Amino acid sequence: GEDACRTRHDHSPENLALLRRMALNLLQHNGPPKDSLRQRKLRAALNDNYRMELLLGEHNRKTI
């Protein structure tokens, strides 16, 4: 199925590379400082709440 993949046409490779860089920047600059990048990737893949915290920047907010 790789030959039928449309991510190799037009601007798709550049767009996907940009999205990947943005995702890696979110993971590198947010999250628990003791966790490795690999741990943060796995946690974001498995935990919807953690992923939303990364996207919305709510990891530093405390609830009252």
Residue for token pair 């992923």: 51
Q: What is the pTM of this model?
A: 0.69
For 36, the domain range is: 6-56
Answer yes or no: is pLDDT of 64 > 50. no
Residue 64 lies in a domain: no
d(Cα 3, Cα 33) in Å, to the nearest integer?
40
**12-42: pLDDT as tens digits:** 889 989 999 999 999 999 888 899 999 999 9
Does residue 23 form part of some domain? yes
User: Is the residue at 61 inside a domain?
Assistant: no
- Residue 31: CB atoms within 10 A of its CB come to 20
User: Based on the structure, what is the number of domains in the chain?
Assistant: 1
Q: Is 58 helix (H, G, I), strand (E, B) or coil?
A: coil
Q: What are phi and psi of 28, to 5 degrees?
A: -70, -35
Is the residue at 62 inside a domain?
Answer: no
Q: Which two tokens stand for residue 42?
A: 């796995």
d(CA 27, CA 8): 26
